Chains A and B, each alone.
Chain A
């Protein structure tokens, strides 16, 4: 595949500027770059989701002009999108086979589809009920469905836009084994990720994009992780100073015997008790779908639960979401687009969400103050955008995430529930977000941190708990928690103290 002089602009931004690169057949070609560098835009061009303003794409030496994804699919291209493209009310099976249904005379052969999906799932080492509606799945499961979707199609060229953002390391390994098998059989993979270790481990070549254009192509052997990061950012990486933690006495979040039951199923959260103190970060490890989401929802007051929850000593077990937020609770959601943003509304309106009371007087929104607040967040968290007026969908994925995190942090919470806070954020900005969280913690914030990224989890947390099938199965200190040990707890192979 050959890209020549591709340019693509949006109102107020040039996302891709004169990009040329070539991808060899039967290789894994990684593309890295800062948030908003133009990676997703380029991939969407390749997949026919929009047409470039100028430049050409050639596949197997032939220049193509994709007017819609169907053209790309016909040319043997498949894509995993950064933001899930799934229909909630359709089942997993329906989502996977849509557009490539095994059918005889138009009638779908569901059994054959189910068998094929089961085989694929097994090779990926994932367990999934193909007949449950996607609406019932968590983010990790959705990611798996997205991957199954593209593998099912058996495309010759795979475009994977951050396919591993919420997968735990074991799952990432399984995916890579699979990709290597496919590549050996002649498939070409284009792979985008912000996890540079992954990139170095799996790819044959790496192209770096900065501010819309390519700055170079290297092989993993030539560069270290640090050099790669510096190519992306164009300068030295900030090195956050290690600091000692100062956990205080005061318990800010106290949970006792919390259970979330669901009729006809096992309990989603089973008898969870925990306490997070002022100045403490409590990490939650676990394969996605083991009650982390329901735990956060219950703490937030969105999900019916039994047991008690107290914030700063006040019992909020029966309080509404609003009351809990007023008591100092804040939330970085699992899925920014589903739970965090109004995609077609402006950034400042999005930033207003959850703090409308602060910016309204006599029922009127103080627009000037709301905009100013949004500008502050944009600046402090380095959100790349022409202004606070653009709609949220115009931001790149990582920048959307920064806005959501920034909004939450700017509320100055007492207790923070953070789910995958740096999902999709590039290495430079990731360090900045971690630094923000650390500073707030030092000022007395209590954090419950759910993350699939073990570096993040072990690097930030003061203590780590592991959840399996809704219950806490282990509590560890970060320095004793090796990835292997965590792995055994996370898969339920071992139950600790």
Chain B
């Protein structure tokens, strides 16, 4: 099948929505595309998305970053502290600075002193974990509501808004109509679902979330359109070639890791300031590692990371808001896999076909046979998707060629 780029994109969006609509009408369970689910998914996706972008920036400049989790922990702590002290906006700024501190430590260790990049990242995670406990001891203990594992609650929050005209937002004091909500309530095939999704993405939005999502186009634009971006990527692809053209690889790796840390810190800030209103120990809950999975899933590209983060955020969102709809998620996966299998037969790609059939059988079994879906099973769905991507697309994955390889100036040969 040969389709134009635009047609392919359209199919990529329309077909899953249509499938979900079928699932909804069939099972009578509307949790998969309700605006509540989607809204929650968006909020849950953003920290993962930013962690994934943090990984992308680090590896694009040539340094593996296992320490994203630690940088996020710095972000939650500094964010929680800053927001408590100075209000939410400065809190976010402190979160970014905290993450950058982590990035700087990682950069000094790996770029300046050539410490093994994995070891440095692991150490950073430990350092962050114990470091913030110590700092909590200094800053939060004795304050009302604070303790070693928790900051006092914040008193104000980042403002939220509804998008005018489509989601009933205000415009200079005038309340605009809420078109999408009415459409969602209609429950029509496809239209109802599409409206639900769009409404979920456009109502009760926090500016913190909007800024987080804006990091995707910003990352793409900087890395693929600017001089800095090209040089930064060349430091991850071939530092020797870059060096022979006068590119300062060392400096660019610092830049990459500082940005990486800043993004991870912002992800932590979102957790402490937007998703809740205080810092709590363990708030990151492994999202830094999930972010790395989305980076691989997304083939080290911003749009791909967005796709991966949406996948993880969505399964979390369904679980949180529409727990009853979880089993229908398996029905959806089964149907989607059948469709992929048919496409594989048309395109004569055997491996992909076999994998698709396999997945669809398992998912169908899970839908029909399992009454009470264990949480661990649903939680593993996005990981399963990542594995499938790795298994079927590993030929086409293009990680930066020299990510993870230490670089010393003047050692080109």
Contact = CB atoms under 8 A, between A and B. Distances in A.
Interface string B247-276: 110000000000000000000000000000
Given A81-B244, A87-B237, A89-B398, A99 B231 contact: yes
B230 A85 contact: no
A108 B238 contact: no
B225 A107 contact: yes
A99 B247 contact: yes
A187 B243 CA distance: 24
B186 interface: no
Contacts of A98: 230-231, 234, 241-242, 245, 247
Contacts of A100: 245
Contact of B244 (A69, A89, A97): A69
A86 B245 contact: no
Interface stretch (B195-203, B211-219, B405-413): B405-413
A103 B226 contact: yes
Contacts of A95: 241
A68 B226 CA distance: 24
B413 A69 contact: no
Contacts of A242: none
A68 B245 CA distance: 10
Given A89-B401, A98-B234, A98-B241, A106 B247 contact: no
A323 interface: no
A83 B241 CA distance: 10
Nearest to B238: A87
A95 B237 CA distance: 11
B144 interface: no
Contact of A108 (B225, B409, B412, B413): B225
A237 interface: no
B410 A50 contact: yes
A234 B372 CA distance: 87
A49 B244 contact: yes
B240 interface: yes
Interface in A58-74: 68-70, 73-74
Nearest to A73: B246
Nearest to A93: B230
Given A50-B410, A88-B238, A89-B237, A69 B246 contact: yes
A68 B234 contact: no
B227 interface: yes
A393 interface: yes
B401 A70 contact: no
Nearest to A391: B413
Contacts of A74: 246
A101 B400 CA distance: 21
A101 B230 contact: yes
A88 B245 contact: no
B137 to A, nearest CB: 44
Contacts of A101: 227, 230
A453 interface: no
B401 A86 contact: no
Nearest to A149: B245
A419 B246 CA distance: 33
Contact of B233 (A69, A90, A99, A107): A90
A141 to B, nearest CB: 16
B233 A73 contact: no
A46 to B, nearest CB: 13
A100 B247 CA distance: 10
Contacts of B231: 98-99
A343 B225 CA distance: 34
Given A49-B412, A89-B398, A99 B245 contact: yes
Contacts of B244: 47, 49, 69, 79, 81, 85
Contacts of A393: 413
A107 B398 CA distance: 24
A94 interface: yes
A3 B243 CA distance: 24
Interface string A132-151: 00000000000000000100
Contact of A70 (B233, B234, B240, B248): B248
Nearest to A94: B230
A97 B229 CA distance: 13
Interface string A100-142: 1101001110000000000000000000000000000000000
A89 B236 CA distance: 10
Nearest to A74: B246
Contacts of B285: none
Contact of B410 (A68, A89, A94, A106): A68
B351 to A, nearest CB: 13
A87 B227 contact: no
Contact of A88 (B227, B247, B401): B401
A403 to B, nearest CB: 15
B228 interface: yes
B394 to A, nearest CB: 15
Contact of B400 (A49, A69, A85, A89): A89
B242 to A, nearest CB: 7
A83 B234 CA distance: 17
A103 B242 contact: no
Contacts of A394: 413
A70 B245 CA distance: 7
A85 B234 CA distance: 11
A94 B226 CA distance: 11
Contacts of A73: 245-246
B405 to A, nearest CB: 11
Nearest to A337: B413
B131 to A, nearest CB: 36
Interface string B179-220: 000000000000000000000000000000000000000000
A118 B400 CA distance: 27
B344 to A, nearest CB: 14
A108 B246 CA distance: 17
Contacts of B248: 70
B413 A87 contact: no
Interface string B386-400: 000000000000101
B287 to A, nearest CB: 28
Q: Which of A74, A81, A87 has the most CB of B within 10 A?
A: A87
B407 to A, nearest CB: 13
A101 to B, nearest CB: 5
A70 B225 contact: no
A112 to B, nearest CB: 13
B349 to A, nearest CB: 10
A13 to B, nearest CB: 14
A394 B233 CA distance: 28
A88 B237 contact: yes
Interface of B: 225-228, 230-231, 233-234, 237-238, 240-248, 398, 400-401, 409-410, 412-413
Given A50-B410, A85-B241, A89-B398, 17 more contacts: A69-B243, A70-B248, A87-B238, A87-B242, A87-B401, A88-B237, A89-B237, A89-B401, A90-B234, A98-B231, A98-B242, A99-B231, A99-B242, A99-B246, A99-B247, A107-B226, A149-B245
The 5 A-B residue pairs with the shortest CB-CB distance, nearest first, are A99-B245, A70-B246, A87-B238, A87-B237, A393-B413
26 contacts: A47-B244, A49-B410, A49-B412, A68-B409, A69-B244, A73-B246, A79-B244, A87-B234, A87-B237, A87-B238, A87-B242, A88-B401, A89-B398, A89-B400, A89-B401, A90-B234, A90-B238, A94-B234, A98-B241, A98-B245, A98-B247, A101-B227, A106-B226, A108-B227, A108-B230, A149-B245
Interface of A: 47, 49-50, 68-70, 73-74, 79, 81, 83, 85-90, 94-95, 97-101, 103, 106-108, 149, 343, 393-394
